[in-house]
Amino acid sequence: MEEEYENAFREASSIIASMKRCIEHEWQRCMEEKGKYLLLVQWERLEDHIVGFKESYRFYDPFPVVEHFERVSIKTGKTDG
Angle at 56 between CA 60 and CA 27, to 5 degrees: 55
Q: Which fold has domain 2-56?
A: Alpha-Beta Plaits (3.30.70)
Angle at 40 between CA 44 and CA 77, to 5 degrees: 65
Evaluate if residue 77 carries a pLDDT over 90. no
Using CA atoms, how far apart are residues 25 and 42, in angstroms rounded to an integer? 6
Q: Which residues pair with 38 in a beta bridge?
A: 28
Evaluate if residue 81 carries a pLDDT over 70. no
| pLDDT per residue as tens digits for the range 59-70 | 566 777 888 888
The 3-state DSSP class for residue 71 equals coil
Using CA atoms, how far apart are residues 59 and 26, in angstroms rounded to an integer? 18
| pLDDT per residue as tens digits for the range 2-61 | 898 899 889 888 988 888 899 999 999 999 999 899 999 999 888 888 776 665 555 566
